[in-house]
Structure 1
């Protein structure tokens, strides 16, 4: 479809007529011949003579060429464009951060895999997370792990294959044997600081109570709520465990409620898979559709036409000029 970037240029269309009506005609001075019938000659030619100057009349073809040149100039200034079909692109509208506990208790072999074999909690978590990440097309995903201290394992990226690969390489104890859940939430808040997307979500998974944080989980959750971050907490393992491996479900519920998220308990791999399926439905894929309509610039076409037309008019004028010079005075007097 043809369009013009500056269609208002069309208001300049009558400009030459205004110049013709409002400004005096161009005067050229040349040697004159005294004739007794000058008044009659001026009347026959239709020219309006002035003292000390002569006004030449423009031929029809020259007038047509000037009009066409003016139209081509306006067409180029209006910036014609050929509008192509729009291109739609999906842009991620959510940043999703996974917080994974890698404390020593995650090595407890009280889960089973899809084949029914006994595996550690972390192995089951990695299997479920891999399937969960595979369905997160349209989100930017980050992964942080925590033990004695939290660490960013995968920065926010739309490359889900990278997130799945690094998640599969997590090992128990790589962040220390203890559990710093509150500090992990604080790290997540800092990772979201540079995020510009409207939806920010943390899914935190732990099997123990907070024993190493400098910031209590409840206080960190309040800060996350103020930053517009929703935290879903997933409790893994035996709720009847004691000591450092004891699940602090009250703290996990408090964190989730403070940010508008949900609290979930997973006693085995099947429950864990169901939780992430439910989270996949709650935190549905969010994208912003960005539309771009490419345009092909065509201003060079009227400019090329203007150049060719002006060159042709000038060439014809030069061709006619020698013919006029070749006419003898005797032929001119006949």
Structure 2
């Protein structure tokens, strides 16, 4: 949309005419004189100089007023306003800590009629959660016997999701170092001086490795303002889609009985200590519901402010006005030469 930033400048448009007819004449030779642009040209344009035709004088007058109009238009700051763009507010720093212990290979979740392991189920639902966190910086910690940062905090959600999809269970060991995963997240939050610090820890087992005790890590997280949400994952072969026959469902369920126990008491204590919550996921619907609940508990900061990109245009009437004023000066000299 086109507009003038200073439209009040247009009141100056009739200034040369007002000065010409309202200001008192100044005697020749006077020490003080008011010089107004184009007044001399306008006087000569109306026929006061010998040899200048009436049509030429009228043409010069129109030309001079056009130049003055362009200068006033430039001073009024013409500009082009772009379409409104949502102002992105500062989002949260949110780290996902995903268990890669060997027990995550247990196939006790159902998806589209087939059994899938816990890690695949986690990737399906967590990937959707990552894509919805627009405006947040997302980080990814993978842990088993050790914890390591797979993706630093970033706004590039696609890359974080790719790293999660490429993660493989069992490669970092068979055990589970929950305390180390929490401690690593706290360390990174501290280094980056994050303002809103959220850790979502997903595991299917009990802490049995690492150097940092889970409750000590939870206290450390509390001290540094890190809120931890814990999720215990252990399915039972429940349906996430249609399958054929009750007998097949029964067989799948019996074959998919979880082989690892979740230390729910510790996970609940971690969440309670840090101001978060503990969730238990037994199937894909519950797991998806947990992430939906997290979206409600820690909503994405939506841009409530808008700005419109501004492209200044004042230089164009200014340049055109300067060009026409030079042309006017040349024409004036030629007409004077013709009349002398």
Q: Which bracket does the TM-score occupy, shorter chain normalised?
A: 0.5 to 0.7
Per-residue deviation at 1:184? 0.9
Counterparts of 1:167 and 1:262, CA distance in 2? 23
Q: For the structure 1 residues 76 and 132, does the alpha-carbon distance in structure 2 shift closer, same or farther, using more than 3 Å as the test?
A: closer
Q: Contact 1:92–1:287 (CA<8 Å) still a contact in 2?
A: no
Q: Contact 1:151–1:175 (CA<8 Å) still a contact in 2?
A: no
What's the CA shift string for 1:121-149, capped at 9, x where partnerless? 33333343344445445544322111222
1:278 is paired with a residue whose SS is helix
Counterparts of 2:5 and 2:299, CA distance in 1? 40
After superposition, residues 25-36 of structure 1 pair within 5 angstroms as: 27=29
Per-residue deviation at 1:257? 1.3
Q: For the structure 1 residues 308 and 163, does the alpha-carbon distance in structure 2 shift closer, same or farther, using more than 3 Å as the test?
A: closer
Matched, 1:297 2:295: no
Counterparts of 2:313 and 2:226, CA distance in 1? 49
Aligned positions, number: 289
Give the corresponding residue for 1:221.
Answer: 218
Q: For the structure 1 residues 26 and 179, does the alpha-carbon distance in structure 2 shift closer, same or farther, using more than 3 Å as the test?
A: farther
Q: Contact 1:92–1:140 (CA<8 Å) still a contact in 2?
A: no
Give the corresponding residue for 2:330.
Answer: 315
Q: Which blocks of at least 5 consecutive residues in structure 2 are unaligned?
A: 31-41, 47-56, 236-259
Counterparts of 1:111 and 1:308, CA distance in 2? 79
Per-residue deviation at 1:232? 0.7
Give the corresponding residue for 1:96.
Answer: 94
After superposition, residues 207-286 of structure 1 pair within 5 angstroms as: 207-237=204-234, 247-286=262-301
Counterparts of 1:66 and 1:187, CA distance in 2? 73
Give the corresponding residue for 1:125.
Answer: 122
Counterparts of 2:78 and 2:309, CA distance in 1? 13
Counterparts of 1:287 and 1:199, CA distance in 2? 15
After superposition, residues 33-48 of structure 1 pair within 5 angstroms as: none
Deviates more, 1:251-260 or 1:289-298: 289-298
1:100 is paired with a residue whose SS is strand
* 2:85 paired residue among 79, 84, 87: 87
Q: For the structure 1 residues 197 and 253, does the alpha-carbon distance in structure 2 shift closer, same or farther, using more than 3 Å as the test?
A: same
Give the corresponding residue for 1:183.
Answer: 180
1:145 is paired with a residue whose SS is strand
What's the CA shift string for 1:217-256, capped at 9, x where partnerless? 3333344344443211012349xxxxxx654333211221
Q: For the structure 1 residues 80 and 189, does the alpha-carbon distance in structure 2 shift closer, same or farther, using more than 3 Å as the test?
A: same
Q: Which blocks of at least 5 consecutive residues in structure 1 are unaligned?
A: 29-56, 239-244, 326-334
Q: For the structure 1 residues 97 and 71, does the alpha-carbon distance in structure 2 shift closer, same or farther, using more than 3 Å as the test?
A: same
Q: For the structure 1 residues 322 and 210, does the alpha-carbon distance in structure 2 shift closer, same or farther, using more than 3 Å as the test?
A: same
What's the CA shift string for 1:74-130, capped at 9, x where partnerless? 5434432233432336567233321111223333x3613225655443333334334
Give the corresponding residue for 2:199.
Answer: 202
Counterparts of 1:235 and 1:206, CA distance in 2? 5
Q: For the structure 1 residues 2 and 268, does the alpha-carbon distance in structure 2 shift closer, same or farther, using more than 3 Å as the test?
A: closer
Supply the RMSD in Å over aligned alpha carbons.
Answer: 4.1
> Which structure has more RCO (C-alpha within 8 Å, separation ≥ 6)?
2
Rg larger in structure = 1
Per-residue deviation at 1:6? 5.8
